[in-house]
Amino acid sequence: MKTILILGAGLSSSSLIRYLLEHSAENDWQLRIVDRDLDLVKQKIDGHVNGMALSFNALDSEERRPEIEEADLVISMLPARFHVDVAKDCIELKTNLITPSYISAEMRELDEAAKKAGIVIMNEIGVDPGIDHMSAMKIIHEIQDKGGRLTSFKSFTGGLIAPESDNNPWNYKFTWNPRNVVLAGQGGASCFIRNGEYKYIPYHRLFNRLDYMTIEGYGDFVGYANRDSLSYRTTYGIEDIPTIFRGTLRRPGYCEAWDVFIELGMTDDSYQMVQPNLTPRKFLNAFLPYNPNKTVEVKFREFLGKEREHLYERFEWLDIFDGENQIGLHDASPAEYLQAILEKKLMLDEGDKDMIVMIHEFEYEWKGQQHKITSHMVNIGEDQVYTSMSNTVGLPAAICAKMILTGTLKTTGVTLPIYKEIYQPILKELEEYHIRFIEKEFSPSVSGQ
């Protein structure tokens, strides 16, 4: 019997655990799942004979090392900052490791040590990063294999609300960590390249520099730039590409409204507000000019101006003019107050389903002609346990785990799923779970005309 140690049983682990338990009997696997919330683990195991619930501090090396030593594979669903420490234990104890998180510089430095230990440390095997890599590399390799030259690659991903659950004027609900949504785009300018020219979008301009796209049957979307697009040139082996752009998807109107929060200063997380007993109304008024003769509503309308007056109802719907109910925080940053206000209105309701949307656009030259390929994936969650986010994060990691444990994947070292022997079987099996891409190639035009 082979042992799989899973560190963390949060929302993103639900589909991972279900898949591995469903395949445990035929493959003779035992799952040992660790979380501080033992009841949560037991709930996800649901009495399965091949699952064991454990509760200890997985962040403590002394507590986790005995379990790693007995495992054939570790899957770390811990916050990304803890993966390197887990990886060091895995290298020393010669245990394979999977994480869905981005490869950090510190993780890359462990590549040679992992190879010497004879283990694989597979990173970026979730949805974004993960499915984005695999689905993009499939088409990039197909273009390259027939002698084409890639000239443009654009990629967008969004965690959104399913159409049947979209019932508010923001056309959005939190389907993942609300704090990450509030702080999205901060930490430096977004950088990409278009037609050979480097472009930079500072945070205060990010949400009004948008790309527009449509998916038949699902409507319109807008995309704003991710912070770093350029590093993917090296990752994908397309260093000389003239255009590369990666972004996040939202519904039309969301970004225009979100930009109001940024302009007011409400997404700032760098200082604490000292005013006690804040209500949403007082919070909003703190960022508007002082005028004892004008109401908060009037001052806010003046801030929006005529060109943005159509956004007013979105903010009104958030109860941001509520002067009765306190937010319930003290000495918090503007971003934390804003998050608390949004969480009261934008959380999933009972019965809601989430949706992951991914769109790729490729342009390439082949035999003197310009070609274009579009590829998109839309996946809707099952419920609020097996969400689309959980399925698209957990299933690629679970399938990769099966490949490692059955010997199908023989790679060693610190790596990610950009190679055919990794992404081809994973993408094929993901289709069985309704995670599939629809590709369309457009008629070519002669280069230069």
Per-residue pLDDT reduced to its tens digit, 254-300: 999 999 999 999 999 999 999 999 999 999 999 999 999 999 999 99
Question: For 408-413, what is the mean pLDDT?
Answer: 96
> Please, which residues have CB within 8 angstroms of residue 175's CB and are 6 or more apart in sequence?
159, 160, 161, 348, 354, 355, 387, 388, 389
CA 88 to CA 162: how far, in whole Å? 40
pLDDT value at position 445?
62
Q: Which domains does the chain have, with CATH numbers?
A: 2-127+387-433 (3.40.50.720), 131-257+350-386+437-446 (3.30.360.10), 272-332 (no CATH)
The band of 54, judged by pLDDT with boundaries at 50, 70 and 90, is very high
Which residue in 158, 197, 152 sits closest to 361, CA to CA?
Answer: 152
Q: Is the confidence at residue 49, as pLDDT, over 50?
A: yes
Percent of the chain past pLDDT 70, that is, above it, reads 99
Which residue in 159, 231, 62, 152 sits closest to 393, CA to CA?
Answer: 159
Number of continuous H segments (helices) and E segments (strands) in the chain? 17, 16
CA 345 to CA 352: how far, in whole Å? 14
Q: Is the confidence at residue 367, as pLDDT, over 70?
A: yes
pLDDT value at position 227?
86
Task: For residue 126, give the DSSP letter.
Answer: B
Question: For 40-55, what is the mean pLDDT?
Answer: 96
Per-residue pLDDT reduced to its tens digit, 69-110: 999 999 999 999 999 999 999 999 999 999 999 999 999 999
Render 342-411 in DSSP notation, one character per residue. Answer: HHHHHSPPTT--EEEEEEEEEEEEETTEEEEEEEEEEEE-SSSSS-HHHHHHHHHHHHHHHHHHTTS---
pLDDT value at position 288?
98
pLDDT value at position 400?
98
Which residue in 181, 113, 205 sits closest to 346, CA to CA?
Answer: 181
Question: For 238-248, what is the mean pLDDT?
Answer: 97
The band of 158, judged by pLDDT with boundaries at 50, 70 and 90, is very high
pLDDT value at position 187?
85
Identify whether the C-beta of residue 98 lies closer than 8 Å to the C-beta of residue 125. Answer: yes
pLDDT value at position 448?
43
Question: For 188-212, what is the mean pLDDT?
Answer: 95
| pTM tops 0.85, yes or no | yes
Per-residue pLDDT reduced to its tens digit, 300-321: 999 999 999 999 999 999 999 9
Distance from the first to the final alpha carbon of the chain: 63
What is the H or E stretch that residue 98 is in? strand 96-98
Residue 228's DSSP bridge partners are 191
pLDDT value at position 188?
86
Q: Name the 3-class secondary structure at 322.
A: coil
pLDDT value at position 252?
97
Give the chain's mean pLDDT. Answer: 96
Q: Name the 3-class secondary structure at 154.
A: strand
Q: Which amino acid is at 256?
A: E
